[in-house]
Amino acid sequence: MTDFDSSTANFSNWPVPVASQQGIVHRSFFAVSFSCKSYCTNRLFPYNIFMGRVYKNRDSQKRLSRKGAGEWMSLAPEELIRHGWMGDRTPVTLRSIQPEDAPALCAMFRACSPKSLYLRFERQLNEIPLDQAVQLCSVDHKNELAIVAEIKEAGSHRLIGLGQLSADPDRATAEYAVLVADPWQGKGLGSKFTDFCLEIAWRWGIKRVVGEFSPSNVRIIRILQSRGFRFQRDRQEQVVFAEKTLEGLVWIAKRGEAMSNMKWRKSLRPLINEAREELAKVNPQELARRGGLTFHEGWLELPLLGRVYSIRWPELSPTAPNGEACPEELQILLLDYLKNGDGAPPTGRWIGFRELPNGGFYWRAFQGYSGDQLVRDLAGDVDAFHQAAIKLEGEPLDMGDASYTFRTLPQLPMAVVWWAGDEEFPAKATVLFDETASHYLPTDGLAILGRMLCRKLAKLGREA
């Protein structure tokens, strides 16, 4: 094996496998591991395929299929979510796969060309049957994990990419594979999958990331090169190996999160300007009436979770109580409330997140970073929840073991219901919405508001 400098390599002069000469490229994966000599199993298919390669040694595959890698993966599936934008500014979400994703996953595979499927699986496939997609979606989130890339298109949600991690029994290796449907290739999604995987690997305590792929797979070589990987080439096997140590790699998570937040906030600015233009056409007195606000001397005053924000007319730039400009994500939330509000009064009938428009698709993730996170932050202490709710001026409700309603926005009440844990069941908290909530915010805005409410309660509870 020889050292390989990807920055000076002439990929066109490398011998190309026969399959690549026929327009098919393979070995489109790389592994996350302590050792590049051991591999873990993957349950994409019930037959003898493992992360894109076909095994001839059944004993080896049986050994690799043993379970027992569970405890080291401490991240809950609801925590594995990342929002971002592709190169064409299309919003995209990377999240943990769910059992109900199987039909959408089949549709994603149908959008892949035979070349892309071969690139991923190293065998000729035209599509993936539904029963096999169901198996792929039924991961245990202990020794295996699948992440999908999701976009909103024509009012519905669509899957456009799939990444997988799978740990071996001795916890030495977690292997990663990725597939992006053809219409969305070349838009930076492979890089997003890679960065997310590196962050997860670092958070799980993995020491090294290695990869093995065809030298003709220039795209993944360049993605890894830009992230500091070292390369070696095996001329006999016609493969390239990549390696990167993750020790002390705190900057991956911090830089990735900072860059993601910066890009996300930047992408909100056109939406903010669009909302301002639309709101400027409406009489401010009418906006105040519909939103339950006060309008005085050119200022709209909008209370949110115990703080009063001011919106100057006609500039429509929300400011915090201390006079500073609000961050972009809070600006769009407040402006959306003004823009969408139609004056519908709350009815007092409570609904769950899955009953909101398109909420059924995201409710698991929302539950994870709202109610479940609140329980974790308060260590399941119902008394701490009581004290936090009282500090936030919550009004008691008669649901669960403890429940309160909160006036998050003037016309938008929300409730939190807490069930105390026992020897059989852990504590649980759930956020509920008035059935008129969608008259004021879109579902993604309601999700952000629900998370803000739970974070506020967690902060007050910890201070109690």
For residue 200, the model assigns a pLDDT of 75
pTM over 0.85: no
Distance CA 52, CA 452 (A): 42
SS3 155: coil
SS3 234: strand
At position 205, the amino acid (one-letter code) is G
For residue 178, the model assigns a pLDDT of 81
Distance CA 75, CA 377 (A): 15
Q: Are 331 and 264 in contact (CB under 8 A)?
A: no
Task: For 90-131, write each residue's pLDDT tens digit.
Answer: 889 999 888 899 999 999 999 998 888 877 776 677 777 888
Task: Report residues of the chain scoring pLDDT below 50.
Answer: 1-74, 169, 248-257
What average pLDDT is seen over the chain? 76
For residue 304, the model assigns a pLDDT of 95
Best CA proximity match to 52, nearest among 218, 196, 177:
177
Instruction: Burial-class residue 149 by CB neighbours within 10 Å (0-12, 13-18, 19+).
Output: buried
Helix 218-225 × helix 189-203 angle, to 10°: 50
Distance CA 443, CA 357 (A): 6
Which CATH number is correct for 2-248, 1.25.50.10, 1.10.10.10, 3.40.630.30, 3.40.50.2300? 3.40.630.30
Q: Are 438 and 356 in contact (CB under 8 A)?
A: yes
For residue 38, the model assigns a pLDDT of 28
For residue 41, the model assigns a pLDDT of 31
Best CA proximity match to 149, nearest among 200, 217, 88, 196:
196
CA atoms within 13 A on the CB side of 357: 14
For residue 349, the model assigns a pLDDT of 96
Instruction: Burial-class residue 61 by CB neighbours within 10 Å (0-12, 13-18, 19+).
Output: middle
Distance CA 88, CA 187 (A): 7
For residue 64, the model assigns a pLDDT of 27
Distance CA 96, CA 33 (A): 21
SS3 115: helix
Distance CA 75, CA 62 (A): 27
The conformation of residue 354, written as its DSSP 8-state character, comes to G
Q: Are 319 and 309 in contact (CB under 8 A)?
A: yes
For residue 131, the model assigns a pLDDT of 84
Instruction: Burial-class residue 267 by CB neighbours within 10 Å (0-12, 13-18, 19+).
Output: middle
For residue 142, the model assigns a pLDDT of 63
Please give the biggest Cα pair distance in the chain: 79
Best CA proximity match to 415, nearest among 430, 426, 427:
430
At position 406, the amino acid (one-letter code) is F
Distance CA 319, CA 345 (A): 26
Distance CA 216, CA 25 (A): 7
- Kindly report the backbone phi and psi dihedral angles of residue 183, in degrees, each rounded to the nearest multiple of 5, phi listed first: -65, -15
Residue spans of the domains in the chain: they are: 2-248, 260-340, 350-463
Distance CA 19, CA 148 (A): 28
